[in-house]
Amino acid sequence: MAIVSHVPAMTQKVDPRRYRDIGVPEIMSIGREIVEEPVARLIEDKIYVAVGKQVKESKLVLLWALQNSGGKRICIIHVHQPAQKIPVLGLGTKLPASSVSEQEVRAYREFERQEMHKNLDEYLLICQRMGVRAEKLFIEMDSIEKGLVQFILQYGIKKLVMGAAADKHYKKKMVDLKSKKAIFMRLRAPASCHIWFICNGNLIHKREGSLDGTDLAVRSLSLQTSPNIETGHPQHSRSQSVTLGHSSQAKLTNPVQDFLRRVTSITLDGNGGNVPDGTGGLSTPGNSPVAEGIFDEWDAIPRGSHSQESVRSSCSSRGGNDVPLTPLRRTERNKNDFQFSTLHEPKDFHNSSPPSVLDGSVDDTLYDQLEQAMAEAENSRREAFAEALRRGKAEKDAIEAFRRAKASESLYAEALKQRKDVEEALAKEKLELERMRKQQDEVNEELQISLNQKSLLESQLAESDQMVKELEQKIISAVELLQNYKKERDELQIERDNALKEAEELRRSRKEASSSTHQPQFFSEFSFSEIEEATHNFDLSLKIGEGGYGSIYEGILRHTHVAIKMLHSHSLQGPSEFQQEVDVLSKMRHPNLVTLIGACPEAWTLVYEYLCNGSLEDRLSCMDNSPPLSWQTRIRIATELCSVLIFLHSCKPHSIVHGDLKPANILLDAKFVSKLSDFGICRLLSHDELSSNNTTPCCRTDPKGTFTYMDPEFLATGELTPMSDVYSFGIILLRMLTGRPALGITKEVQYALDTGKLKTLLDPLAGDWPFVQAEQLANLALRCCEMNRKSRPDLETDVWRVLEPMRASCGGSLFRVGSEEHCQPPPYFICPIFQEVMQDPHVAADGFTYEAEAVRGWLDSGHDTSPMTNLALAHKNLVPNLALRSAIQEWLQQN
């Protein structure tokens, strides 16, 4: 028995706790058998991944776990949460499960489980593609958070990967959890479980697990003895097994252990009794409290000095009686004798030891063998420890190599993607280079053409120099003639002065006569306060246009829907344009001229009739998703525009040239009847003013208007003639044919006619153009756009003869779109008192227009208030509304 006391001393030389904190795998040494349980546990350890029912939402969480698993097995866990509402066939809605039949509920639950297994199989397929073994576990619970906690407790999960939030909520600076489930698990999950929280494939948060007191107590229950007491022999020996996690029973195989087993099998009473263990059983080398000091990492017995108090507390925690275990010690009687002494010996143990053992009659040879065996055991433990270190390092290197391989695969994939992107960029660069080469060739061709034109101009310049010399000779000869004519001029000068005096006297007399007679004025004057009220103080929401003259607003003026053009404060040409437009529109009436209702001279403001369909430019570009104009409507608009131009050019005694003809100045009413507007830069040409080379009236002025629609000859010479409007009319006609921008449109149409590709150039939004008429219109428009004004056709004799038959073939009359337009007169034509069309409209002091007979009868009957507002009138004077009267008469004539 004296030899047994040395076994615990030897087993205490290797303390696993010394190496646990530096990452070295723990080693259990019993005799010569090495049990590497922590290393095996590291290899067989699993990583559990919590996934949802949508594969798309949890795929990145699983991929992160696969990439960071280090070759460990993956276990996919899922908490199936049965739906609370069941969809009902035929109703198209969901009802609570309590409101649906049990059969339908069972069928839908089975369908949910099939979908769950299908999704879990997709997760397993992802793991299989990544070359990782995986398995699946699921549980049905109403709460996902409680289900995950149940998983951790049931399977002893130590490593868990789950989502931190939905991927769409991910941000680079995201450091906190967004999901309620993740927050619950971080706070409520068992402390022994390590949890990684993932969002959008990135680690957001990590909760480190810890081994608290509760877990230690649970683990300590795994190391217990299993007694096997025979019936009727309470003092017989027991066989014990030490359970370490999932390891098998440790076996003693070396000679020292065999010796110890033989020594402890000797009994003093002849029944093989052993040393009492203080717990009602017998102590063996496998279950002695001193030997149990080896396993204090698992059963939570403190290391260090095995005092009687620590042993008592350990025994009492295992449910033993209060009798303390008696530590054995060796005392030296002489050189070769040993004895055992106990602090408290049981009463039934005195007569159970054989004399050879009690007398310490063990020789030195057996003790030397024991010490040699103990030295060999120590060397074996050291070798096993070194081997465990090497194996741990090898496993670590293997895991690191696996991680490097994964990293290399990701780098290779990234490099492959970058190479693909570079190849695509290179292909785009090649295409761009080809395009630039084509552009360079085109530029070279244009340069060559320019050089040819330059040489031609140089030759023309040489010819011009020759002509200058000839003209100089002619000038010298003409000077002599001028001297002869000078005398005649002086005589004519005297006669002219006399004629001027007579003409001045005649003009004065005519002016006096004209001032004595009443000149009709076809527009009304409005105050600035009325303009402000009609436009809501020039509210930007009522602004419908912007031009060189100013801004155009929509408003209600004297209960009439009008368009108000307001002069810009910084405009230098505003006053002259204002007076020019008033002079033209107040003296003329035409169905295709915009009606000037009135003006406000103090603010340089013009008031027109409101045309709801905007300008021709807006309709050609389909602004505000408006429907496109049909080809019949476009032909009618061209005919109406030709008619109004003929009217302006043939006015007496002065022809009127618009000078700024473009689609933006052609307005359309509710029936798409065209109205020509914006006469601010028009010119009045006297028939006495003829150009130097023809009989066409002209005037010299600075070029104004829109460049793409301006006559090139007007730009070159400064001479404005009616043919300048013909050029602009030709450009507008080409735009209505093709729907293309005005710049360069003549060259495109000419090329299409020459190559027979006119159909491809026609605007498809207008419908199917009659090709014969379209070709005829294209040729007519190109004739109008000739560079030389002499080559352009006359509107009345040439253009009208082409457009009038086309308009007739499309249906409708020139100035009437349909009977509906004239069946319903405009509301401002109706007298508010009689409710009939007015014949002699007059404006009262309240600002409203009435029939003269009606308002006079109202005032003569003693009323001094307004028939419309019932407010007192400032006066009873009536002013004729000549502009409205003219418009009513024109409407009546058309009907």
CATH code of the domain containing 534: 3.30.200.20
Residues 665 and 790 in one domain: yes
Q: Residue 75 pairs with which residues in a beta bridge?
A: 48, 135
CA distance 850 to 859: 12
Query: Hey, which bits of 181-274 come out as E strands?
Result: 194-199, 202-207
Distance CA 198, CA 207 (A): 12
Range of the domain at 777: 613-814
Query: What confidence score (pLDDT) does residue 69 get?
Result: 84
Same domain, 605 and 670: no
pLDDT computed for residue 428 by the predictor? 93
Q: Are 141 and 176 found together in one domain?
A: yes
Number of domains forming the structure of the chain: 5
Residues paired with residue 849 on neighbouring β-strands, in sequence order:
843
CATH of the domain at 833: 3.30.40.10
Q: How many whole angstroms separate alpha carbon 28 and alpha carbon 34? A: 6
- Boundary of a domain, candidates 210, 236, 260: 210
If one counts every other C-beta atom within 10 angstroms of the C-beta of residue 649, the result is: 22
Query: Mean pLDDT by 10-residue block, N- to C-terminus, for the chain (895 residues)?
Result: 36 40 36 39 71 89 89 90 83 80 87 92 91 90 91 91 87 83 90 92 88 43 34 33 33 46 43 39 37 34 36 35 36 38 37 41 76 91 91 92 91 93 93 93 93 92 90 87 82 79 69 46 76 90 81 87 81 68 79 87 86 90 89 93 91 84 91 86 66 56 75 85 92 94 92 92 91 92 92 91 84 40 71 87 89 89 88 89 82 76
Strand ranges (E), 502-602: 524-525, 543-546, 550-557, 560-567, 596-600
Tell whether 656 and 805 lie within a shared domain: yes
Final residue belonging to a domain, choices 155, 188, 210: 210
**71 closest CA partner among 90, 47, 54, 107:** 47
pTM over 0.85: no
DSSP state of 323: P
Residues 805 and 840 in one domain: no
The token duo for 739 is 């729907």
Residue 135, both tokens:
């398995």
Residue 136: the pLDDT is: 92
Q: Are residues 578 and 700 in the same domain?
A: no
**Which pLDDT score is estimated for 811?**
57
Question: Are 552 and 533 within 8 A, CB to CB?
Answer: no
Question: Are residues 239 and 204 both part of a single domain?
Answer: no
> 362, 384, 411: which is the final residue of a domain?
362
Name residue 708's amino acid: T
**Sign for the pseudo-dihedral over CA of 224, 225, 227, 228:** positive
Question: In this structure, is residue 722 part of a structural domain?
Answer: yes
pLDDT per residue as tens digits for the range 211-229: 554 443 344 333 333 333 3
Q: Is residue 413 part of a domain?
A: no
- What ranges in 524-630 are assigned the alpha helix state H? 528-534, 574-585, 616-620
Domain-located, residue 629: yes
> Helix and strand tally (H, E) in the chain?
26, 27
Supply 194's token pair: 């390590």
Q: What pLDDT was estimated at residue 583?
A: 77
Among the listed residues 17, 5, 42, 27, the one whose alpha carbon sits nearest the alpha carbon of residue 296: 17
Instruction: Classify 628 in phi/psi space as left (phi over 0), alpha (psi -120 to 50) or beta.
Output: beta
How far apart CA 61 and CA 162 sit, in angstroms, is 7
Q: How far apart are CA 339 and CA 349, in angstroms?
A: 15
Strand spans (E) along 108-231:
134-140, 159-163, 194-199, 202-207
Report if residue 498 sits inside a domain.
Answer: no
Alpha-carbon gap, residue 663 to 615, rounded angstroms: 7
664-714 pLDDT, tens per residue? 999 998 888 999 988 777 777 765 554 444 556 666 665 676 788 888 888
Catalytic residue among 277, 660, 711, 846: 660
Span between the terminal Cα atoms of the chain, in Å: 141
CB crowding 382-394: b at 16 or more within 10 Å, else e: eebbeebeeebee
Residue 636's domain is classified under what CATH number? Answer: 1.10.510.10
- Distance between CA 794 and CA 694 in Å, rounded? 14
Please report the pLDDT score of residue 226 as a whole number: 33
Q: Identify whether 374 is part of a domain.
A: no
Residues 43, 150 within the same domain: yes
Residues 6+ apart with CB under 8 A from 665: 615, 658, 676, 677, 678
Distances (CA, A) of 731 to 102, 178, 749: 79, 65, 11
Q: Could you tell me if 221 and 205 lie in one domain?
A: no
Give the number of C-alpha atoms closer than 13 A to the C-alpha of residue 723, restricted to the C-beta side.
25
- Do 633 and 781 belong to one domain? yes
- For the chain, the maximum distance between any two Cα atoms, rounded to a whole number of angstroms, is 180
User: Phi-psi category of 862—alpha, beta or left, where left has phi over 0 and alpha has psi -120 to 50?
Assistant: left
Alpha carbon distance 37, 56 (integer Å)? 39
Residue 448 lies in a domain: no
The question of whether 660 is a catalytic residue gets the answer yes
474 occurs within a structural domain: no
Cα–Cα dist 673/675, whole Å? 7
Residue whose tokens read 């359309």: 668
Q: Is residue 421 part of a domain?
A: no
C-alpha to C-alpha distance for 763 and 774, rounded to whole angstroms? 11
Return the pLDDT at 337: 41
Judgement on whether residues 786 and 849 belong to the same structural domain of the protein: no
Q: Enumerate the β-bridge partners of residue 608.
A: 563, 596
Contact 239, 228 (CB under 8 A): yes
Tell me which residue of 816, 795, 773 sits closest to 644, measured CA to CA.
795
- The residues, any chain, with a CB within 8 Å of residue 126's CB and separated by 6 or more, are 59, 62, 63, 66
Q: How many CA atoms lie within 13 A of 746 on its CB side?
A: 17
Q: In this structure, are 222 and 238 located in the same domain?
A: yes
pLDDT at position 261 is 52
For residue 236, what pLDDT is reported? 35
CA 457 to chain centre: 57
Contact 681, 657 (CB under 8 A): no
